[in-house]
């Protein structure tokens, strides 16, 4: 029997907690967490701009997976910290919850509020160099894995001011260190949009990019809209400032159905929304309700306007700056918790309602757009009710007949494999672990939900089977607690048709069950395309590139290559050992790093407008010499 005594208790000192549990501080050690290191240092530089001390930032992606971020702000303090006798720079990079952002005199507005950003980056870096230009000199100190590797050095006299942080992430922490230039550029562009007058330069792979926007978030809205037809010619813009809060909002409606809402607090992207976003939505809905009621525009059969009706086709940027203590949810700052919903609600309602009455022609056009969404919502609900009545008897047990379920009732241990065709289903059933692995075969390619209406989608037999097997239902009756499997694994053939079916399934999950993606339940299996036999050894390759590497490593030994026609033609023993056995297989977990970008990609590649796909193919055709079609 295991004991639990005083000797079993560990006290982690310094930055050791960060290295032991990096996910608590940066979310994960995936590419998202890796890039979060860049965001932490970038946020510090932007904070200097927010407080009027910096107008230029430079981000450089260097060789050997290093990043450099430079600003022309005040520079990191270098005088001695009285409590420890160490330099302020050393304290900032080696001590959690240290910084000037707890003092409103040093930073009136700040995004890096928790005092852990610089120290966390230092703890998770193999090497880090901090250069501070202040007090007429250049000051340098180096660190590794949260500890100083040199003392603070006073360098040459210099007139310039600012901070440069250069670091290399630790390969002991991150399984793959490769920065995505596109992510860096998008973040830099976003910060420039949010801060009028701020210029951000990015250097990557020999290319130099500069971002500077005079109209701030109004320019941001125009970029997002692009060529989409909009109901309003120009974004509605309002800016309001008092002693505690500065609010900046820009929005308009397009003729599309999807909504795009970006919210920010002190220049930090709040991907999970928060009180500022709630206040904005409520204020917008109240303004439109009041306008529609006063103008008597509501038709018969529509009892009222909801937030969802107003949201349809909406593109909005909400940007707030708060002084004092700002409450975010978690170190990754995904959600704003500060109590400002009523303030934002009031400003948006009164400003927009006044604007609608002053511009009634445009006001009526926006109101009719929202009323049309309400009518579509009511029609969709009626279609759902009709489908539910029609299928109530056949779905009484809420499990599809083709599902070969597992015996385990433990959700975390259970897995659902979604495969294409009866033959693939047969091989999968032979290869599975009956205790923890369930198999749901589909009949070929499922419906493309991007181009089908909600009523048609949920009436589709294959989609209905997936919804029933997963167990959660879909909005508005989605219930996460009823999820039956910890992993939902898309397992399709390793060819073009398989990739298409996989994309159709991903489209369905993104549109109807996005919460399962956000909570890390959706995976893609990696079945091999080739089997290479050489003597008594057998190798598997998922694509031509891997096949060529294996052949090269055989160094002239005789070999035979077999190409699997599909999962249905693959022997169950091969399928089990390569794709379904938990100890040998390789799975790709599906993640959403940026909701608006993902939404746009699905809309372009799977939507009704073919010219988006034509443009996508034309731009990338030069990169492919051969296609497996």
* Whole-number pLDDT of residue 376: 81
Lowest model confidence (mean pLDDT) among 49-58, 280-289, 448-457, 536-545: 448-457
pLDDT band at 621 (very low <50, low <70, confident <90, very high): low
Whether 162 and 70 have beta carbons less than 8 Å apart is answered as yes
* Domains in the chain: ranges and CATH: 16-211 (3.30.565.10), 217-383 (3.30.230.10), 411-527+588-623 (3.40.50.670)
Q: Indicate the average pLDDT of the chain.
A: 84
Phi-psi category of 171—alpha, beta or left, where left has phi over 0 and alpha has psi -120 to 50? alpha
Query: Would you say residue 452 has pLDDT above 90?
Result: no
Q: Which two tokens stand for residue 410?
A: 């433990």
d(CA 161, CA 51): 15
**pLDDT score at 202:** 96
pLDDT of residue 128: 96
In this predicted model, what pLDDT tens digit does every residue of 245-258 receive, in sequence order?
889 999 999 878 78
> Does residue 326 surpass a pLDDT of 80?
no
Q: Is the pLDDT of residue 139 over 70?
A: yes
- Candidates 495, 515, 591, 594; catalytic one: 495
Average pLDDT of the segment spanning 93-118: 54
CA angle 123, 124, 125 (to 5 degrees): 95
For residues 483 and 514, what is the distance between their CA atoms, to the nearest angstrom?
A: 13
Looking at the whole model, is its pTM more than 0.75? no
Q: What is the pLDDT of residue 453?
A: 73
Rounded CA separation 625/365 (Å): 49
Q: Residues 86-108: what's their mean pLDDT?
A: 66
Residue 84 makes CB contacts below 8 A (sequence gap 6+) with 91
Cβ burial, residue 622 (10 Å; 0-12/13-18/19+): exposed
**DSSP character at residue 159:** S
> What pLDDT score does 438 carry?
93
Q: List the catalytic residue out of 420, 450, 462, 574.
A: 420
Catalytic (active site) residue 412: no
Q: Is the pLDDT assigned to residue 3 strictly greater than 80? A: no
Per-residue pLDDT of 141-188, as tens digits, reads 999 999 999 999 999 899 899 999 999 999 999 999 999 999 999 999
* Radius of gyration from C-alpha coordinates of the chain: 28
Catalytic site residue 497? Answer: yes
What percent of the chain is predicted at pLDDT more than 90?
38
* More confident: 236 or 598: 236
**Is 567:424 a contact under the CB 8 Å cutoff?**
yes
Catalytic choice (413, 497, 546, 594): 497
Q: How far apart are CA 410 and CA 413, in angstroms?
A: 6
595 noted as active-site residue: no
d(CA 69, CA 61): 9
Q: How far apart are CA 202 and CA 561, in angstroms?
A: 46
Give the 3-state secondary structure of residue 147: strand
Asked if the model's pLDDT at residue 317 lies above 90, the reply is yes
Q: From the candidates 40, 138, 493, 574, which is the catalytic residue?
A: 493
Give the span between the Cα atoms of 586 and 257, in whole angstroms. Answer: 37
- pLDDT tens-place string over residues 212-232: 998 889 988 888 888 777 787
Helix 31-50, helix 181-194: angle, nearest 10: 30
Q: What are phi and psi of 556, to 5 degrees?
A: 90, -10
Split at pLDDT 50, 70, 90, the class of 616 is low
Known catalytic residue at 594? no
Q: Tell me what pLDDT residue 362 has.
A: 92
């Amino acid at each position: 029997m295991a004991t639990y005594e005083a000797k079993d208790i560990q006290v982690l000192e310094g930055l050791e907690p960060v290295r032991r549990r990096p996910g608590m501080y940066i979310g994960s050690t995936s590419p998202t967490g890796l890039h979060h290191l860049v965001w932490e240092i970038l946020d510090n530089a932007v904070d200097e701009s927010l407080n009027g001390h910096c107008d230029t930032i430079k981000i450089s992606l260097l060789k050997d997976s290093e990043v450099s971020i430079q600003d022309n702000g005040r520079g990191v303090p270098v005088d001695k910290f009285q409590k420890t006798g160490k330099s302020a720079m050393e304290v900032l990079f080696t001590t959690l919850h240290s910084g000037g952002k707890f003092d409103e005199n040093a930073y009136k507005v700040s995004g890096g509020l928790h005092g852990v950003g610089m120290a966390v980056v230092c703890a998770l870096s193999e090497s880090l160099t901090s250069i501070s230009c202040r007090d007429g000199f250049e000051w340098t100190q180096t660190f590794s894995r949260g500890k100083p590797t040199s003392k603070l050095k006073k360098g040459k006299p210099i007139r310039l001011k600012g901070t440069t942080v250069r670091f290399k992430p630790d390969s002991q922490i991150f399984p793959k260190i490769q920065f995505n230039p596109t992510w860096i550029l998008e973040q830099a562009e976003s910060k420039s949009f949010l801060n009028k007058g701020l210029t951000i330069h990015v250097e990557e792979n020999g290319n130099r990019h500069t971002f500077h926007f005079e109209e701030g978030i109004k320019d941001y809205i125009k970029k997002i809209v692009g060529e989409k037809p909009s109901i309003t010619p120009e974004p509605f813009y309002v800016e309001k400032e008092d002693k505690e809060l500065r609010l900046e909002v820009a929005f308009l409606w397009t003729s599309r159905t999807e909504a795009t809402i970006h919210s920010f607090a002190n220049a930090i992207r709040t991907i999970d929304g928060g009180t500022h976003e709630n206040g904005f939505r409520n204020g917008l809905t109240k303004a439109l309700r009041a306008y529609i009621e006063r103008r008597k525009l509501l038709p018969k059969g529509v009892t009222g306007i909801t937030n969802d009706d107003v949201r349809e086709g909406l593109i909005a940027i909400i940007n707030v700056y708060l002084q004092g203590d700002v409450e975010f949810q978690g170190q990754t700052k995904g959600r704003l918790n500060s109590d400002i919903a009523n303030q934002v609600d009031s400003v948006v309602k009164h400003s927009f309602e006044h604007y609608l009455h002053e511009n009634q022609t445009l006001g009526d056009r926006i109101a009719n757009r929202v009323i049309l969404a309400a009518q579509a919502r009511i029609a969709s609900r009626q279609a759902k009710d009709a489908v539910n009545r029609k299928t109530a008897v056949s779905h009484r047990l809420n499990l599809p007949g083709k599902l070969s379920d597992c015996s385990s009732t433990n959700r975390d241990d259970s897995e659902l494999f979604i495969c294409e065709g009866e033959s693939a289903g047969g091989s999968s059933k032979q290869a599975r672990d009956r205790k923890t692995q369930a198999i749901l075969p589909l009949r070929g390619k499922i419906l493309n939900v991007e181009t089908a209406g909600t009523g048609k989608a949920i009436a589709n037999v294959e989609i209905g089977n997936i919804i029933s097997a997963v167990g959660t239902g879909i909005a508005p009756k989605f219930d996460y607690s009823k999820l039956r499997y910890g992993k939902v694994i898309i397992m399709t053939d390793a060819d073009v048709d398989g990739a298409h079916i996989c994309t159709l399934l991903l489209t369905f999950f993104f549109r109807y069950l996005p919460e399962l993606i956000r909570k890390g339940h959706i995976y893609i299996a990696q079945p091999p395309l080739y089997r290479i036999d050489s003597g008594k050894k057998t190798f598997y390759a998922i694509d031509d590139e891997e096949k060529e590497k294996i052949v090269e490593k055989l160094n002239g030994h005789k070999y035979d290559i077999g190409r699997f026609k599909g999962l249905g033609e693959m022997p169950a023993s091969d399928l089990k050992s390569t794709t379904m056995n938990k100890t040998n297989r390789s799975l790709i977990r599906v993640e959403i790093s940026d909701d608006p970008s993902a939404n746009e990609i699905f809309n372009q590649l799977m939507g009704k407008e073919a010219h988006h796909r034509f443009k996508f193919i034309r731009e990338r055709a030069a990169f492919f010499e051969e296609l497996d079609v």
